[in-house]
Amino acid sequence: MKKRLFALLAASALLLAGCSTLLERDLSQVDPHNTAPTTEGDPSILRADSYQELVNALIYLVGAGAESGTIRLYTDAEDVETFLSDACLEVVQEDPLGAYCVEYIKYSVDPVLTYFQAQVQITYRRTREQVSSIVQATGVTAIRSELESALSSFASERVLRISYFEGDEAVIQDLARQAYYATPASALGMPQVSVSIYPDSGRQRIVEILLDYPLELSELEERQESLDWELERLAQRLSNQTDPPGPLDAASALLREGSWDPQGGSAPYDLFDTGAADSEGLSLAFSALCQRLGLSCRVAQGERQGEPHLWNVVQTGEGWRHLDLTAEEPALYTDQQLLELGYIWEEDALPLCS
């Protein structure tokens, strides 16, 4: 009796183990979802059983950079022309990638027994290299980061695929200006920024940003190298004299290299090259030097006595403070002190200097 009971328990255990193994296998299996299913036996031919699947098939072809494709459409005869016409138009006008890179889509269709076979021809207005260079970006911080990278290397173009972006060209223009001030060691003249957004609305959009610099690339790289050398020389001197150098030490050292001139150049390079710069050039030069010294510093935009003006905000042991190198005697100021001197700025754009 005991032997029979043991055998029965052992058999039950094996069955349970087998069931467990089957269950684990089922749970771990992942079936990839293909938005543009191919027909059986021929991966070059796509299948669509509905209008949305037809749209997905066209998007699939565009994403692959295909110039032609075959789609078998299983639908009623009266729907075929409408489906194809509307789907091509939707991909070209409403899909972000299609709106950005496709000029037009042509098709021809023939009935074949139980389906209609459509031959699709796609004409592009962007190269494959341009499409492959598209960068995913979510939120304004990511957009500005990509712009900073572009400006640092004097790139002429950035194309971003942005999720949940409801802004317009003006927002991108403002982010480009912020990115320019955040990369002062490469700020050798604000480029002209052209922005195109595809499509006009939607949860996902492609933003094309073209950057036209005031100087040739070779000249920009030469000036960047010269500016880098000057900043390193100055930083080394400061570090040898004061350890660690503070914002006022950096300001004094920079002003020994050149002075403020309202008619001077607006790039940090101009201060070292000609010995003078306007408020933008001076504040950018100071910000670049602070970055080299490891000091937290930002360029501030606003007005002084009703005139457009730029200065800096720096982090000190007492908190953030304003510092204007165009003043007769540069000093550190709180927000209230600077307001009393006739400065105004957008409060949200700068750290609180309390």
The interaxial angle of helices 217-241 and 279-293, nearest 10 deg, is 60
CA distance 332 to 41: 75
Res 261 pLDDT > 50: yes
Do 105 and 78 lie in one domain? The reply is yes
pLDDT for 1 equals 43
- Strand-pair partners of 209: 158, 195
How many CB atoms lie under 10 A from the CB of residue 56? 19
Residue that is last in its domain, among 161, 185, 212? 212
Do 46 and 118 lie in one domain? The reply is yes
pLDDT for 304 equals 96
Res 30 pLDDT > 80: no
Mean pLDDT of 74-82: 90
Could you give the dihedral angle defined by the CA atoms of residues 135, 136, 142 and 146, in that order, rounded to the nearest 10 degrees?
A: 0
pLDDT for 151 equals 97
Say which CATH number the domain at 324 has: 3.10.620.30
Which range of 1-5, 84-88, 164-168 scores highest in mean pLDDT? It is 84-88
The answer to whether residue 31 sits within a structural domain is: no
Mean pLDDT of 180-209: 94
* Strand-pair category, 307-316 with 319-323: antiparallel
The answer to whether residue 155 sits within a structural domain is: yes
Res 225 pLDDT > 90: yes
| pLDDT above 70: percentage of residues in the chain | 88
Do 71 and 187 lie in one domain? The reply is no
pLDDT for 13 equals 43
Chain mean pLDDT for the chain: 88
Do 223 and 260 lie in one domain? The reply is yes
The answer to whether residue 111 sits within a structural domain is: yes
Structure confidence by residue, pLDDT tens digits, 330-353: 999 999 999 999 999 998 999 999
CA nearest to 283, candidates 243, 305, 254: 254
CB 198 within 8 A of CB 96: yes
Residue with the two structure tokens 């209609």: 116
Span between the terminal Cα atoms of the chain, in Å: 89
| Band of residue 228 on the pLDDT scale cut at 50, 70, 90 | very high
Residue that is last in its domain, among 101, 125, 149? 125
How many CB atoms lie under 10 A from the CB of residue 94? 15
pLDDT for 200 equals 86
Do 208 and 221 lie in one domain? The reply is no
The answer to whether residue 18 sits within a structural domain is: no
Do 120 and 225 lie in one domain? The reply is no
CA distance 54 to 107: 13
pLDDT for 305 equals 93
CA distance 251 to 264: 18
Residue 332: domain span:
217-349
CA atoms within 13 A on the CB side of 332: 18
Do 114 and 174 lie in one domain? The reply is no
Do 105 and 221 lie in one domain? The reply is no
The answer to whether residue 176 sits within a structural domain is: yes
Report CA-CA distances (Å) from 287 to 203, 232, 236, 267, 344.
Answer: 37, 13, 16, 12, 20
3-state DSSP call for residue 219?
helix
3-state DSSP call for residue 327?
coil
CB 312 within 8 A of CB 287: yes
Q: Round the CA-based radius of gyration of the chain to a whole number and report it.
A: 31
Do 94 and 116 lie in one domain? The reply is yes
The answer to whether residue 191 sits within a structural domain is: yes
Residue that is last in its domain, among 192, 212, 232? 212
Res 17 pLDDT > 50: no
Res 7 pLDDT > 70: no
Number of domains in the chain: 3
Report which residue type is found at 209.
Answer: I
CA distance 85 to 296: 57
CB 105 within 8 A of CB 121: yes
Structure confidence by residue, pLDDT tens digits, 266-299: 999 999 999 999 999 999 999 999 999 999 999 9
The answer to whether residue 165 sits within a structural domain is: yes
Say which CATH number the domain at 55 has: 3.30.110.140
> What's the gap between Cα 138 and its chain centre?
8
CB 28 within 8 A of CB 22: no
Mean pLDDT of 65-79: 92
CA angle 72, 76, 78 (to 5 degrees): 110
DSSP structure class, residue 95: S
Mean pLDDT of 145-164: 94
Res 145 pLDDT > 90: yes
Residue with the two structure tokens 């006595």: 305
| Band of residue 42 on the pLDDT scale cut at 50, 70, 90 | low
The answer to whether residue 20 sits within a structural domain is: no
Do 188 and 266 lie in one domain? The reply is no
Structure confidence by residue, pLDDT tens digits, 234-246: 999 999 887 789 9
